[in-house]
A and B are shown apart, each in its own frame.
Chain A
Amino acid sequence: MAALLSAPSTPVASDRARVGSLRLAARNGGALVVRSEAKVSGGVSARGANLITHAVAEKAAAASSTDSKPGHELLLFEALREGLDEEMERDPTVCVMGEDVGHYGGSYKVTKGLATKYGDLRVLDTPIAENSFTGMGIGSAMTGLRPVVEGMNMGFLLLAYNQISNNCGMLHYTSGGQFKIPIVIRGPGGVGRQLGAEHSQRLESYFQSIPGLQMVACSTPYNAKGLMKAAIRSENPVVLFEHVLLYNLKERIPDEEYVLSLEEAEMVRPGEHVTILTYSRMRYHVMQAAKTLVNKGYDPEVIDIRSLKPFDLYTIGNSIKKTHRVLIVEECMRTGGIGASLRSAIIDNFWDYLDAPILCLSSQDVPTPYAGTLENWTVVQPEQIVAAVEQLCK
């Protein structure tokens, strides 16, 4: 086994796809191996049915259940609002709390118009007291409401860490299951355009250890609305991570109601050669890199893990079993980030399926600088992703 892993192995996905054989059989058939070097060789044409024509998955593939409906087009922040609006309409105990969510409509306009529709008590403008209004959300969740607490920027929720860790995550357990906390904590995080260090924080790594908490990250209007609805309907406390730079993404989403699963990952682009696991904004860097990779003859499988805690090990595992190579691309810091946890989860569960060490591209352990050039160098760029895939697939 060790010899196999250390040898520069090549992807044999095509054989598996054709003959449906096990990993082991394919590995022994050295003659059938397709090299994944620079050019797409004649061996590719033999794969006929698996010829890759698109780097980016069809929208239809992503929105698999809605092929026949035209849907409507909107921006991501509007999708979030739609999800929130639908849930508030459906259940009168759903309420929103946060700074400037009411009259101002939300600093990113996610709650625009909701206060006029539902009133000042259901869309509550709070004073600037994150710890206390998050605790207030928890107290109201314990007593029958379903609050959605907005952090104007995810980083501000560091001030609410006390309440999120001690009460949000733990209260259900320490009360012996007597009180549930169906709260949603959401807000934009991530590195924006020169917002400075404190407005560019990635709190998913800080919150991931809190027991009793679920974390999801949205990346498209489709999954933003679906995850928002799922989070509100969930009986567990859920932290929904949005990204400052993704609010203006446009997509056509279905007209009919849909709710996504909080625990499932999303297959963005099926592939054969390498599994790229990513979430939030880095998904777009990965897809950009995927275009380059396809031109170079690689066939990356891109999975948006969406559920940061817990990980969807089924989707991830199936992918690893297929490709044997993993690249994690994230925006978190290298130390203690989501990628670090994902890496150890993969090693724990799928060690035997790996042909190469797991590569993890994360942001530098650097407070995000203001200067645009420096900021670009702290986060992962598509060129680095391409280089990493090339290294993995050598």
Chain B
Amino acid sequence: MVSLYYIKCFLIRITKGPRKFLNKIKAIHSDGSSHAVALLTSPSFSPPPLLYPLHFLLSLLLQNLSNSFPFSTSLAPLSLYLEFVPMAAFSAVKIPPPQFTTVRSSSQRPGSSPFQSVHSSSAFNSISFGSAKSVRSRPLFAVSSDVVSSDKTKAASSSASIPAVTREVALELYEDMVLGRAFEDMCAQMYYRGKMFGFVHLYNGQEAVSTGFIKLLNQSDKVVSTYRDHVHALSKGVPSREVMAELFGKATGCCRGQGGSMHMFSAAHNLLGGFAFIGEGIPVATGAAFSAKYHHEVLKQSKPEGLDVTLAFFGDGTCNNGQFFECLNMAQLWKLPIIFVVENNLWAIGMSHLRATSDPEIWKKGPAFGMPGVHVDGMDVLKVREVAQEAIARARRGEGPTLVECETYRFRGHSLADPDELRKPDEKAHYASRDPIVALKKYIIEHGLASESELKSIDKKIDDVVEDAVEFADSSPLPPRSQLLENVFADPKGFGIGPDGKYRCEDPLFTQGTAQV
């Protein structure tokens, strides 16, 4: 039985090429045998006709095999074919680092809708608790795009399905993503015109993650971000005027011009930053989640909807950082209401995720700490939203953290100073074709949620909002000298006692910003 499988693998390899073979094997062995079953028996998987009989036999055998194994996240059932993978993969063919990541979720085929009908099966059951033997028609986790691409029935089934969201929600999502995109494009323009300086990291292409998650939050829920935080701020509700003014370094900015692009904070909107060092915000987010639990359990300030949730956004590069792992441990240990959202855009400046990471599947690191790890197509806002809903509900109920890996892509370079020479044009084109805004627009129109002209009017409205933000920022004053010493300490007595016996902050020059401290 096992050797039959090996032969099948070998046959597949010679028929479809080494890269695709590796895709399949990685896709299969990463998800557990239930997925292997789903893969091999799903109507979407069509091997070459030559192998139909073999495929059929093997599928039967594998199904029987997997039915007798308990489902779990352990690799025991996989060891059977895992030992053959290296042999098969490396014996005859040298596998170079793939051009695209090998583990990527379903692509858009021209003509087919990327959004499918919502199915009620939870993404969490089959991964962490391993109870579901359900064979899902479209798994939410790591599947190679090549594997599912041959599904010809997709287009017909999905377009006839019920929309996943209401019209209001769809328009809200659309507007938020368009705001993010338009704002970031305007940032680039302003940067090149010399209105803002320093490091500016733009979020183009990743809007689905921000919108998909943050639009589900309440006012009192917290968001912690990285340096790529403009759109997180906008989604959380910080007015675009304040964000733009902050970028211009004006006194009317959300941080009075003292933070800048990489340090967006808003106490009113519970945006806890904006951190320049990667990984630095994750412990802060863990602390905010701890605080939520503390408020509930110690201070007895409970809310009817549940605990306040904290979202920590960070990238693939951060997932190799110690703070990430330390916080996964602590969050699960104390069942903190936090969601770790990995925006895996494959590149940490010029470092490909695959070149930096021993096991590039980040969602798997969740179960290693005892929390669910979910991989979702981050270019699809409805899929992200669905996963987010479940994760947020979990956290609110006090069931603990979730690790969500969103496969996404940034259309621009790491920052405006990045020449972006290392990424291949075809990779960029692949993801450009999966633009989340275009996809949502298509979805809205196909499901009759709104008309083209309504969407265009939203586009126009957002353009006006962004223009207004720029005008506001332009006309705002620069911070005066008096602002220099004001916020160093919450209690300015911290500057100490001067030679004259008075506190330094009592010096009249202090408010002018010229006092000796």
Interface residues of A (CB under 8 A from B): 92-93, 95, 119, 121-122, 126-127, 129, 131-145, 162-163, 166-167, 171-182, 211-212, 214, 234-236, 262-264, 307, 309-315, 317, 349-350
Contacts and interface: CB of A to CB of B under 8 A. Distances in A.
B181 interface: no
Given A137-B287, A176-B265, A234-B491, A263 B497 contact: yes
Nearest first, the 9 closest Cβ-Cβ pairs linking A and B are A139-B287, A135-B283, A310-B496, A176-B256, A175-B265, A176-B255, A139-B284, A132-B326, A129-B326
Nearest to A346: B499
Nearest to B489: A236
A314 B294 contact: no
B259 interface: yes
Given A127-B326, A127-B329, A132-B326, A263 B496 contact: yes
A119 B334 CA distance: 14
Contact of A181 (B256, B276, B490, B496): B490
A173 B260 CA distance: 11
B286 A95 contact: no
B288 A139 contact: yes
Contact of A166 (B267, B277, B500): B277
Interface string B405-427: 00000000000000000000000
Given A172-B488, A236-B489, A314-B499, A138 B287 contact: yes
A131 B283 CA distance: 8
Contacts of A137: 287
Given A176-B256, A263-B496, A144 B263 contact: no
Interface of B: 222, 224, 253-260, 263, 265-267, 272-277, 280, 282-295, 297-299, 322-323, 326-327, 329-330, 333, 486-491, 493-501, 503-504, 517
Contact of B495 (A163, A176, A310, A317): A310
17 contacts: A119-B298, A121-B293, A127-B329, A131-B283, A131-B322, A135-B282, A140-B287, A143-B272, A144-B291, A171-B265, A176-B257, A234-B494, A310-B494, A310-B497, A313-B499, A314-B501, A349-B499
Contacts of A234: 491, 494
A143 B295 CA distance: 10
A179 B267 contact: yes
B283 A121 contact: no
B256 A312 contact: no
B487 A314 contact: no
B273 A171 contact: yes
A54 B463 CA distance: 80
B153 to A, nearest CB: 48
- Among B277, B491, B499, find the residue whose CB has the most chain A CB atoms closer than 10 A: B499
B237 to A, nearest CB: 15
B489 A212 contact: yes
A175 B284 CA distance: 14
A142 B288 contact: yes
A208 to B, nearest CB: 13
B499 A127 contact: no
B497 A172 contact: no
- Among A119, A212, A236, A264, find the residue whose CB has the most chain B CB atoms closer than 10 A: A236
A161 to B, nearest CB: 11
Contact of A132 (B259, B263, B286, B488): B286
Contact of B283 (A132, A172, A173, A211): A132
Contacts of B287: 135-143
A139 B283 contact: yes
A136 B293 CA distance: 13
A338 to B, nearest CB: 14
A174 B486 contact: no
B253 to A, nearest CB: 7
